[in-house]
């Protein structure tokens, strides 16, 4: 396996280093764009190297590519700079590198305050990379908070419409969610005699979280973490910031927001709520799947009513991210042993939804840049003028509605198969969301891309060779995962297996109590 000491640290901080060099040395808008392109490409290659270097052998160490430096050390307080990847985070690192590179190319048309824009965009990529690789709770929280400022600045500074309102709404919701997480982290810290924030020890069976020594009840800790991650996912009813943020954000910010920032919520649920609270996730699975089904159906119904392309995709994200909760809810099977299919589907949904929505927002951004409107009734006949962009948007739409052979189908099938055994009725209801998705996706494609040509669009041009790069990369990822899902499922299974073992061990006494 190809790797070298400090490779994970370099992958995380290379975008921030690039932002610093843009601030200090790079001059001229063209040079800034070219330099950001090079940094994004280099980080994508490093992220791919991290993914390829991860040892998929079930006998290998769970956490790999470890970078550890003692950060704060006293008799009662210990925090470390601790980075590492496992089967859950390695694909997320690859996803962040891929979408970060695509976001840089999607930003080529930015014409005002170019230096400042790319600095914030690169800092955002470092912050998200840090969330997916941190194995120290304090470091995890710092990265979690760090991403708020770049995203706020991108929406408020380069957005459209009510950009100041949308940026502030995003900030308020996410900071409020972070407050719940901070309380839970402090409670966990105070529960340990060693005063450590090391997440790896808390992910092991028999750790403090199973010993009854917590200063807050375990159920309270579980829901505190859930509140923070639910806002970011987002799930109903704390989802209302998302449509506004997406609608008014620049294209690249929408790509990063939908592609990786929402995935931070799902990642946190799997890493912390499932990985550290096996008894509680089993006991409250019914509530999780209920919230998931409500999100799936509510998001789908609201999406049908949308006439703005970006707002349509934003609301569809609420529906599709509800499937993550449905997959997590599969742990509530009281009869028999959990096989982990639903959890694998939830993890897969994080990756596949990231690439699908990334492609959708890149395609919509191209249409808006050239047609200067996202209002669906004003569009039509674009496929004949922009065949490459239209084909990419159609592929993303088909993947979103779960067409076999594309990546969205794989994650949805795993979620439904895993959850049906535990909650057949709730799972059947969530399937209705996919049926509705077929309706709003096909209707959107028909109204915007096909139909009679409109004279005012006669001068439109298709995607340029540069603009075609993110389209091609994301289409390839969607097709490859759809045709050969083992490229990801084999990796995710190495992280899901320990979770399944812990939940199965906790399941019998809870089932008996019921």
Taking only the tens place, the pLDDT of each residue in 206-254 is: 454 555 556 778 889 999 999 999 999 899 998 899 989 988 899 999 9
Give the pLDDT band of residue 78 (cuts 50, 70, 90).
confident
Q: Are 157 and 116 in contact (CB under 8 A)?
A: yes
Distance CA 351, CA 316 (A): 16
- Does position 8 have pLDDT exceeding 90, yes or no? yes
Strand, helix or coil for residue 205: coil
DSSP structure string for 387-448 = HHHHHHHHHHHHHHTT-TTSHHHHHHHHHHHHHHTT-HHHHHHHHHHHHHHHHHHHHHHHHH
Query: What pTM did the predictor assign?
Result: 0.93
With the C-alpha atoms ordered 293, 294, 297, 300, is the resulting torsion angle positive or negative? negative
pLDDT the model gives residue 60: 60
pLDDT the model gives residue 511: 41
Taking only the tens place, the pLDDT of each residue in 169-212 is: 999 999 999 999 999 998 888 877 666 788 887 776 445 455 55
**Cα–Cα distances in angstroms (integers) from residue 3 to residues 14, 55, 89, 132, 438, in the given order:** 16, 11, 16, 18, 43
Taking only the tens place, the pLDDT of each residue in 379-423 is: 888 888 899 999 999 999 999 999 999 999 999 999 999 888 888
**Cα–Cα distances in angstroms (integers) from residue 223 to residues 143, 180, 226, 237, in the given order:** 21, 9, 5, 15
pLDDT the model gives residue 106: 94
pLDDT the model gives residue 489: 92
- Does position 48 have pLDDT exceeding 80, yes or no? yes
pLDDT the model gives residue 370: 87
Give the pLDDT band of residue 456 (cuts 50, 70, 90).
confident
CA angle 317, 323, 326 (to 5 degrees): 150
Taking only the tens place, the pLDDT of each residue in 246-274 is: 888 999 999 999 899 999 999 999 999 99
- 343-379 per-residue burial string, b: 16 or more CB within 10 A, e: under 16: bbbbbbbbbbbbbbbbbbbbbbbbbbebbeebebeeb
Supply the mean pLDDT for the chain.
Answer: 88
- Does position 334 have pLDDT exceeding 80, yes or no? no
Distance CA 286, CA 76 (A): 38
More confidently predicted of 96 and 59: 96
């Amino acid at each position: 396996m190809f790797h070298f000491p400090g490779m994970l640290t370099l992958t995380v901080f290379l975008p921030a280093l690039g932002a610093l060099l843009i601030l200090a040395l790079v001059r001229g808008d063209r040079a800034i764009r070219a330099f950001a392109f090079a940094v994004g490409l280099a980080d994508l290659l490093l992220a791919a190297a991290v993914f390829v270097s991860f040892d998929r052998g079930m006998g290998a160490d769970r956490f790999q590519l470890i970078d550890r430096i003692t950060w704060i050390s006293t008799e009662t307080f210990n925090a470390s700079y601790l980075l590492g990847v496992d089967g859950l985070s390695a694909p997320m690192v690859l996803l962040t590198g891929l979408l970060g590179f695509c976001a840089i190319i999607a930003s080529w048309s930015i014409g005002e305050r170019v230096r400042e824009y790319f600095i914030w965009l690169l800092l955002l990529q470092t912050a998200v990379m840090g969330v997916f690789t941190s194995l120290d709770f304090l470091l995890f929280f710092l990265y979690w908070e760090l991403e708020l400022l770049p995203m706020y600045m991108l929406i408020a500074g380069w957005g459209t419409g009510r950009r100041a309102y949308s940026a502030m709404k995003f900030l308020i919701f996410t900071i409020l969610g972070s407050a719940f997480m901070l309380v839970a982290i402090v409670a966990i810290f105070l529960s340990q005699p060693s005063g450590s924030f090391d997440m790896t020890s808390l992910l092991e069976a028999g750790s403090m979280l199973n010993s009854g020594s917590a200063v807050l009840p375990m159920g309270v800790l579980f829901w505190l973490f859930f509140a923070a991650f639910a806002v970011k996912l987002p799930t109903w009813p704390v989802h209302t910031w998302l449509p506004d943020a997406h609608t008014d954000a620049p294209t690249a910010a929408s790509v990063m927001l939908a592609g990786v920032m929402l995935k931070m919520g799902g990642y946190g649920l799997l890493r912390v709520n499932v990985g550290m609270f096996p008894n509680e996730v089993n006991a409250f699975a019914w509530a999780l799947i209920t919230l998931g089904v409500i999100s799936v159906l509510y998001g789908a119904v609201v999406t049908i009513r949308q006439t703005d392309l970006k707002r349509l995709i934003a609301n569809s994200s609420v529906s599709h991210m509800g499937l993550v909760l449905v997959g997590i809810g599969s742990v509530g099977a009281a009869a028999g042993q959990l096989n982990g299919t639903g959890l694998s589907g939830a993890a897969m949904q994080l990756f596949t939804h990231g690439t699908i929505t990334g492609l959708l927002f890149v395609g919509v951004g191209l249409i808006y840049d050239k047609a200067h409107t996202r209002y669906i009734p004003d569009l039509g006949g674009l496929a004949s003028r922009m065949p490459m962009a239209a084909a990419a948007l159609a592929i993303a739409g088909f993947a979103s509605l779960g067409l076999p052979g594309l990546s969205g189908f794989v994650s949805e099938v795993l979620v439904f198969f895993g959850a049906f055994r535990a909650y057949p009725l709730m799972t059947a209801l969530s399937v209705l969301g996919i049926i509705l998705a077929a309706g709003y996706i096909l209707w959107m494609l028909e109204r915007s891309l096909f139909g009679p040509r409109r004279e005012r669009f006669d001068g439109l041009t298709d995607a340029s060779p540069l603009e075609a790069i993110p389209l091609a990369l994301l289409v390839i990822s969607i097709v490859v995962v759809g045709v050969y899902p083992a490229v990801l499922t084999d990796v995710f299974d190495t992280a899901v297996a320990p979770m399944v073992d812990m939940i199965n061990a906790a399941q019998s006494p809870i089932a008996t109590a019921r």
